[in-house]
Structure 1
Amino acid sequence: MADRTASADTETPCGCKIGRVTEGYGLVDLDDDLVAYWTGDGDEQRSTRELATYVNQRILEEALTNADIPPKEGEIENTYRLLTDDDVSSGTRVQTRNELQRDGVPVEQVESDFVSHQTVYNHLTGCLEASVETPSDEERLERSEEKLGALQNRTAAVTTDTVDRLERKDILDIGEFTVNVSVTVTCEDCFREYTVRDLLENRSCDCQKENVGGE
């Protein structure tokens, strides 16, 4: 159960960076959204890193709208990825920034207004006085499994995209293909190997259970 000790619905924005961004871009109800997502239950709960992305995408969306560029579905997420993702080449990032600049988007100002996850955390706990209870072991395991699953999916997507590009440029010759990503964990005591999902479900290597049973 989450506990919020102060309302985010204040008439005057706070003086921190998120407060200034909220006022500057007219991000109505941003504080309420941040608290709701941070203190939500289950799938509704988001980490401060995810919330930083949420804030930054809201900033980018407002900047595009103010430049009379109605964003298409998925455009905000993709443009933000091109501007910030480490997997994006410098050439692609420069091209994206130039295109936005040409369309009237003040890219440098927008990027300087992007916030970090630490800024989000400070805003939530300091300005909004929000708090969440420490998650249970089961909740930690569930979130860990979701996070690792997302990373595997991302690896598969990046690999698929890379192979596609190489194939289109006739650098690689391949027919229809699928990419499967499997991560295993090996216990160095007994050399048993587990998928991440199995290990998280078991919560222990079998050899550890055997050791306990033999004591």
Structure 2
Amino acid sequence: MTDIEDSETDESSCGCKLGRVADKYDLSGLDNDLIAYWTGDADEQLSTRQLATYVNQQILSAALANADIPPREGEIENTYRLLTDDDVSSGTRVQTRNELQRDGVPVEQVESDFVSHQTVYNHLTKCLETELEKPSDEEQLERSREKLAALQNRTEAVTSDTIARLDRKDLIDIGEFNVTVSVTVTCEECLQEYTVRELLDERSCNCQSQS
């Protein structure tokens, strides 16, 4: 009998599916992680949909470990995408499932253990009695600044990597270069342009201020 099967007989921390699955796959500390990510006590705040993906990837990781398959970097995320993403072809999904099955992973059981975002929400609010406090206006603005800045930095990094790769392949010819991404917001009424940070700092455009 496998470790996962052994753990099925253990008493669950709660009666919901997520609690049973956490016990089954020995996902210790999962409840604390879910609370921290949902409430924003962690470095980032995740929605229940994102948390469902997080839980399911933990399940998949535990199943691979139980089959003595050491996951490579990024493999869990990619394998989960191949199993669940609507954009993945049925042929690719079947191939992925067959490969996992051949490696000793009980794919059908693992997939049936995946949880939905509603299950995560119910577990957080009912089992863990966690409430999501509404952030203040300033907190919402600051989170928006950080999110948009991260997206801008990501765009700069991807663009820089792409240009460098094309240059190495001699598909383009460029010397030393820098990539700068600038996003502006234009009010169609007063035609005033703002950077995103300026608009979030000002919290209104000229015509709104004047009115």
Once the 2 structures are TM-superposed, how far is the Cα of residue 27 of structure 1 from its aligned partner? 1.5
Structure number with the bigger relative contact order (C-alpha 8 A, sep ≥ 6) is 1
Counterparts in 2 of 1:129 and 1:192: CA distance versus 1, 3 Å: same
Q: Superposed, which structure 2 residues align to 1:1-215 within 5 Å? A: 12-41=12-41, 43=43, 45-85=45-85, 89-90=88-89, 93-152=93-152, 173-175=171-173, 182-209=182-209, 211-212=210-211
When the two structures are superposed, what TM-score results if normalisation uses the length of structure 2?
Answer: 0.71
Once the 2 structures are TM-superposed, how far is the Cα of residue 115 of structure 1 from its aligned partner? 2.1
String of CA shifts for 1:114-137, please: whole Å, max 9, x gaps. Answer: 223232111100111111321111
One-letter amino acid of the counterpart of residue 191, structure 2: F
Once the 2 structures are TM-superposed, how far is the Cα of residue 52 of structure 1 from its aligned partner? 1.9
Counterparts in 2 of 1:141 and 1:94: CA distance versus 1, 3 Å: farther
DSSP 3-state at the match of 1:27: coil
One-letter amino acid of the counterpart of residue 107, structure 2: V
Greater mean deviation of Cα atoms: 146-155 or 101-110: 146-155
**Separation of aligned partners in 2, 1:164 and 1:99:** 35
Kept after mapping to 1: 8 A contact 2:36/2:42:
no
**Separation of aligned partners in 1, 2:96 and 2:66:** 18
**Separation of aligned partners in 2, 1:15 and 1:179:** 52
One-letter amino acid of the counterpart of residue 135, structure 1: P
String of CA shifts for 1:2-24, please: whole Å, max 9, x gaps. Answer: xxxxxxxxx64322221221122
Once the 2 structures are TM-superposed, how far is the Cα of residue 53 of structure 1 from its aligned partner? 2.4
Counterparts in 2 of 1:153 and 1:78: CA distance versus 1, 3 Å: farther
**Separation of aligned partners in 2, 1:162 and 1:136:** 39
DSSP 3-state at the match of 1:72: coil
One-letter amino acid of the counterpart of residue 147, structure 1: K
Greater mean deviation of Cα atoms: 126-135 or 26-35: 26-35
Consecutive unaligned residues in structure 1, runs of 5 or more: 1-10
String of CA shifts for 1:117-159, please: whole Å, max 9, x gaps. Answer: 2321111001111113211111111222333345556667777
Sequence identity percentage:
74
**Separation of aligned partners in 1, 2:23 and 2:113:** 12
**Separation of aligned partners in 1, 2:97 and 2:160:** 25
Counterparts in 2 of 1:89 and 1:152: CA distance versus 1, 3 Å: farther
Consecutive unaligned residues in structure 2, runs of 5 or more: 1-10
**Separation of aligned partners in 1, 2:97 and 2:162:** 22
What residue is the counterpart of 1:8 in the other structure?
Answer: none
Aligned length: 197
When the two structures are superposed, what TM-score results if normalisation uses the length of structure 1?
Answer: 0.70
**Separation of aligned partners in 2, 1:107 and 1:194:** 51
Greater mean deviation of Cα atoms: 60-69 or 194-203: 194-203
Q: Over aligned residues, Cα RMSD in angstroms?
A: 3.6
